[in-house]
Amino acid sequence: MTYLRPYFASVLLLAGSQIQAAEPAQENRIIETWGYSAKTPATGVERGRQVYEQWCAICHETGPGMAGTQGLQRKYKGAVSPLLREREDLSAEFVEYIVRNGIASMPFFRKTEITDQDLQFLNDYLVKKGD
Amino acid sequence: MRVPQGVSEGDFKLALQEWAAIVGQEWVFVSEEDVILYRDAYSPKWGQTDEPLASAAVAPKKTEEVQAVMRVANKYRIPVYAFSTGKNIGYGGSSPIYDGSVAIDLKRMDRIVEINDKRHYAIVEPGVTLFDLYRAIQEKGYRLSMEMMDPAWGSVIGNALDHGCAHTTTYGRDRFHDHCGMEVVLPTGELVRTGMGALPGSDMFADFHYGFGPFVDGMFSQSNFGVVTQMGFQLRPEHEAYRSGMVYVRKFEDLERLIEIETHCVNSGIANGMTHFGSPVQGPPLSGGPKEMKAFFEQKELMKLLKVKGRPDAKKLEAYAAQNNMGYWSADLKFHGPEKIIAAQWEYCREKFNEIPGCWTEDHGPVVTFPLSPEQEAQLNTPGHAEKVHLGIPSLNRFAFQAFFNDLRSTPEARSTGHLFFAPIIPKSGAELLKAMDVFYDAMVELGIPVPPGHYGRMPIGWFHRCFIYLVAFNVTKVESLNRKEVDAYRELIKIAGEHGWGEYRTHNLFNDDVMNVYSYNDNALRKLHETIKDAVDPNGILAAGKSGIWPRQLREQRGGEGA
């Protein structure tokens, strides 16, 4: 099997759990992608992590070609972590503002992409509570 | 609440209620804070009074809901436009062409209907992105290769419908050409399947394009003749390996032969990946990344040769190239397939290129084999190694390039926040490319568009393998006066290109009329045919007014640009 990066693998397990046996003879039919199926599988921090992996990690993780991470490195010059998931200073209001307004080249996201509920879950994951 | 043009408030409220009954109240968006999210994030008309904006949005989950939504739009004659994921920023994103239209947002239709690893295809809905399909293939453990573009967060279907291109194989890069089978909701709400999908009980939706009768699939690309709700796409068995090879030639005059031989190798199927042409003494390598680009511009002696009016002195550049062991021109060839076979393909190409006196070739990065090891994957998107997109792996690497260029172009008063490319198709010939470089240089100077050093080294893209796409980058900011100047200049470039027989293959929402106006053979016969079809399939003229310059009968006076 082709190598999976860890953050891919977790999303994929989710997708796999949603495969419906619409036509039992063909197990490869109908794969609900991670999003808004009737079987939405998680809430809270876990759903927030999934939202992060689907929408944020593709630009804000480690490794080459991550424009979001590179941009935050240029902006803060190491004063804070360039990785969103390591940031200690993010507030829910700030995350919501950026998701709905965009910043620099990062566009904003519609509510069919990240629902208000998912945005709250994303904050459950990203915003450190100080505990 | 904003009411669409030509619709009474009472009718609009009734339509919103009926749409809510179909898709659920939570998936009908009317508040300003929700609807503003449908604007074009990179709009060159940002904040201007004539920026086209949606009045509301409806987000169906199933084909049956799309049908019902269209019937309601017909009942109340409400202008609507549909999009898949809205991620084609730079082309208009999720915004309408006709101001005040209601968005039909298909993002929630995100099912992968089938992945077939024996017959090598996938059938998807419009909300499925390249990342989604790739992840599903990996999760299932299928040994399949996907054609890939970057940024890869857009819709597989939407990209193909807008004639988007991948960066991978010669036979698969043209994404619309690589599809097989469509399910389409006509503007009236009627459901059609093309090809074998029209035969009830057939399991060959994505195996055989034609079925029987006229091949109408093309009607639904870059058009406003229907809402595509499913498409089949060809996949390939996992490429066992990938390699890339550089070809360098020494003389200015070598360009013609370089392109001729590359075309021979590509059109015979021997070089089966996407070639990147370059000019190492005139421009930074596109495959290198921001650091390499910066390093290029820091060559002071070379910059003196390049920062001149018009075409740099070829003899001086040849001398500089010889002193520094650089090519005047280069071609980065790519090969996909079993390791032994692509080694032989590369060897054949090397021999062909060696017919050019002074030519030399080099392997470009290590051979990549599949399945990738973690070590191999970690090297991708780094200098000297393959880009993920060339291997069929999704990424958003292009945004890193964009950030680099945007920083270069930004000033304290006007930050570059997006991208906009003028992208005409030109013939794949050295002479014609040199002519295009001159024509666009002169035009950019005349129109006041900054011409970057390295203009004569910015080579065309070979997404469509039998022609070139010549890219001119525009600067998008949030400053109205600057954006207006860019838009005006863009319109002029469309006309100038048209005068030379070059036309855009795809364009931003703002320029549909301008581009269609240059495709004017025989008194605009093609546009008239489009309009005839439009009137037949969309009798109330409700769907996506203005796409590709096709306006419904009641709105034809909206057409813009000369030739309207």
Give me the phi and psi of B244, to 5 degrees please.
Answer: -135, 145
Inter-chain contact B112–A33, Cβ cutoff 8 Å? yes
pLDDT band per the 50, 70, 90 thresholds, residue A40: low
Average pLDDT over every residue of B280-306: 85
pLDDT reported for residue B415: 86
Q: What is the pLDDT of residue A128?
A: 84
Mean of pLDDT over chain B: 95
- Contact list, A21 vs chain B (CB under 8 Å): none
Q: Two tokens at A4?
A: 């999976």
> Hey, what long-range contacts does A98-101 have (CB within 8 A, 24 or more apart)?
A100/B33, A100/B37
User: Distance (Å, rounded) from C-alpha A84 to C-alpha A81?
Assistant: 7
Element (H, E) at B151: none
**B370 contacts B142 by C-beta, under 8 angstroms:** no
B398: tokens are: 């292009």
Q: Closest-CA residue in chain B for A107?
A: B41
Question: Chain A residues with CB inside 8 Å of B410's CB?
Answer: none
CA distance A80 to chain B (A): 20
**Among partner residues B132, B374, B415, which is closest to A3 by beta-carbon distance?**
B374
Contact B331, B245 (CB under 8 A): no
Digit-coded pLDDT (tens) for B398-421: 888 888 778 878 888 888 888 899
Summarize pLDDT for B389-401 with one digit per residue, the tens: 999 999 998 888 8
The pLDDT value recorded for residue B450 is: 85
Which tokens belong to B424?
């005409």
Q: How far is A128 from chain B (nearest CA, A)?
A: 27
**How large a percentage of chain B has pLDDT more than 90?**
86
Question: What's the pLDDT band for A3 if we cut at 50, 70, 90?
Answer: very low
CA–CA min distance A49, chain B (Å): 17
pLDDT of B451 reads 87
Q: Does A104 contact B34 at a Cβ distance shorter than 8 Å?
A: no
Residues of A at the B interface (Cβ-Cβ below 8 Å)?
Answer: 1-5, 8-9, 11-13, 15-16, 26, 28-36, 58-59, 63-68, 70-71, 74, 100, 102, 104-105, 107-113
Window 49-68 of B, Cβ < 8 Å to A: 57, 59, 61
Contact B143, B117 (CB under 8 A): yes
User: Are the beta carbons of B368 and B168 closer than 8 angstroms?
Assistant: no
- B56-58 and B80-83 beta bridge pairing: unpaired
Between B366 and A15, where is the model more confident? B366
Q: Which residues of A touch B378 (CB under 8 A)?
A: 63
Q: What is residue B461's DSSP assignment?
A: B
| pLDDT > 70 in chain B, percent | 98
- Residue B232, both tokens: 């089949």
| Contact map slice: B 18-47 vs A, CB within 8 A | 27, 29, 33-34, 37-38, 41-42
- Burial state string for B54-63 with b = 16 or more CB within 10 A and e = fewer than 16: bbbbbbbbeb
Q: Range with the lowest mean pLDDT among A27-31, B241-245, B324-328?
A: A27-31
Which alpha helices (DSSP H) does B380-520 contain, by range?
388-391, 397-409, 430-447, 480-499, 512-518
Question: With contact defined as beta carbons under 8 Å apart, do B246 and B362 qualify?
Answer: yes
Q: How confident is the model at residue A10 (pLDDT cuts 50, 70, 90)?
A: very low
Q: What is the mean pLDDT of residues A37-51?
A: 77
Nearest CA in chain A to B478: A104
CA separation for the pair B223, B135 (Å, rounded): 30
How many CB pairs lie under 8 A apart between chains A and B?
Answer: 140
Assign B181 to helix, strand or coil.
strand
Q: Which of residues 283-312 of B touch A (CB under 8 A)?
A: 289
Question: Is the Cβ pair B132, A33 closer than 8 Å?
Answer: yes
Among the listed residues B80, B63, B98, B97, the one whose alpha carbon sits nearest the alpha carbon of residue B28: B80
- Contact between B82 and B106 (Cβ < 8 Å): yes
Contacts of B419 in chain A (CB under 8 A): 105
For residue A80, the SS3 value is coil
Q: What pLDDT sits at residue A131?
A: 54
The dihedral through the CA atoms of B429, B434, B440, B444 has a sign that is positive
Residue B563 has pLDDT above 70, yes or no: no
Closest to B61 in 3D by CA, of A39, A33, A36, A29: A36
Q: Identify which has the larger pLDDT, A9 or B275.
A: B275
Give me the pLDDT at residue A37, please.
44
How many C-beta atoms lie closer than 10 Å to residue B31's C-beta?
Answer: 9
B132 close to A (CB below 8 A): yes
Chain centroid, CA A15 distance in Å: 14
Q: How confident is the model at residue B293 (pLDDT cuts 50, 70, 90)?
A: confident
- Tell me the three state secondary structure of residue B228: strand
| Identity of the residue in B34, B372, B403 whose CB atom sits nearest the CB atom of A3 | B372
Distance CA A4, CA B389 (A): 16
> Taking CB atoms and an 8 Å limit, are B378 and A29 in contact across chains?
no
On whether any CB of chain A is under 8 Å from the CB of B116, the answer is: yes
Interface of B with A in 72-91 (CB under 8 A): 85-86, 89
Q: Which tens digits make up the pLDDT trace of B497-528?
A: 999 999 999 999 999 999 999 999 999 999 99
B389-to-B149, B150, B239, B405, B544 alpha-carbon distances in Å: 6, 6, 14, 20, 31
- Residues B285 and B353: beta-carbon distance below 8 Å: no
What number of H helices and E strands is found in chain A? 6, 1
Q: How confident is the model at residue B281 (pLDDT cuts 50, 70, 90)?
A: very high
The CA-CA-CA angle for residues B323, B327, B333, to 5°, reads 155
Radius of gyration for chain B, computed over Cα atoms and rounded to the nearest angstrom: 24
The distance of B307 to chain A (nearest Cα, Å) reads 29
Arithmetic mean of pLDDT, A91-111: 96
Structure tokens at B314: 């070829």
B242 in contact with A, Cβ within 8 Å: no
The total of other beta-carbon atoms located within 10 Å of residue B374's CB is 9
**Could you give phi then psi for residue B473, rounded to 5 degrees?**
-85, 135
| Whole-number pLDDT of residue A38 | 37
Q: Which residue has the tokens 């650089």?
A: B326
The answer to whether the Cβ–Cβ distance between A2 and B141 falls below 8 Å is: yes
Residues B259-278, mean pLDDT to the nearest whole number:
97
Token readout for B104 is: 């039909």
Read off the pLDDT of residues B442-484 as tens digits, 9 standing for 90 and up: 999 999 888 877 889 989 999 999 999 999 989 899 999 999 9
Q: What percent of chain A has pLDDT over 90?
A: 57
Query: Once rounded to an integer, what is the mean pLDDT over residues B527-537?
Result: 98
Task: Quote the CA–CA distance of B16 and B56 in Å, as a whole number.
Answer: 9
How far, in Å, CA of B91 to CA of B51, rounded?
14
- The SS3 of residue A30 is strand
Q: Are the CB atoms for B381 and A65 separated by under 8 Å?
A: yes
Listed in sequence order, the residues at least 6 apart from B319 whose beta carbon sits closer than 8 Å to its beta carbon are none
A100 and B33 within 8 Å at the Cβ level: the answer is: yes
Residue-wise pLDDT tens digits, B345-365: 999 999 999 999 999 999 999
Angle between helices A6-17 and A44-51 (to 10 degrees): 110
Whether B332 has a pLDDT exceeding 50, the answer reads yes
Q: Is the per-residue pLDDT at B439 higher than 90?
A: yes
Output phi, psi for B102, to 5 deg.
-90, 130
Between residues B26 and A6, the one the model is more confident about = B26
pLDDT of residue A24: 37
Cis, bond preceding B290 (omega within 30 deg of 0): no
Contact list, B373 vs chain A (CB under 8 Å): 3
Picking from A1, A11, A70, the nearest residue to B135 by CB comes out as: A11
Cross-strand pairs, B426: B468
Lowest mean pLDDT among A33-47, B42-56, B65-79, B127-141: A33-47
pLDDT tens sequence across B195-250: 999 999 999 999 999 999 999 999 999 999 999 999 999 999 999 999 999 999 99
pLDDT tens digits, one per residue of B96-124: 999 999 999 999 999 999 999 999 999 99
Contact A58 B116 (CB under 8 A): no
Q: Look at strands A29-32 and B56-58 and give their pairing.
A: unpaired
Residue B373 and residue A64: Cβ atoms within 8 Å? no
The Cα–Cα gap between B62 and B105 comes to 12
Residue B460 identity? P
CB contact under 8 A, B377 and A66: no
In 3-state terms, what secondary structure has residue B18?
A: helix
Number of H helices, E strands in chain B: 17, 21
What letter represents residue B93's amino acid?
G
Give DSSP secondary structure letters for B7-69.
Answer: --HHHHHHHHHHHHHHH-GGGEE-SHHHHGGGS-TT-TTTT-TT----SEEE--SSHHHHHHH
Q: What is the dihedral of CA B224, B168, B356, B293, to 10 degrees?
A: 90
Residue B26: CB atoms within 10 Å:
12
The stretch B277-286 carries a mean pLDDT of 89
Q: Is the pLDDT of residue A5 over 70?
A: no
In angstroms, rounded to a whole number, what is the distance separating the alpha carbons of residues B512 and B52?
A: 13
CA distance B81 to chain A (A): 16
Burial of A89 (0-12, 13-18, 19+ CB in 10 A): exposed
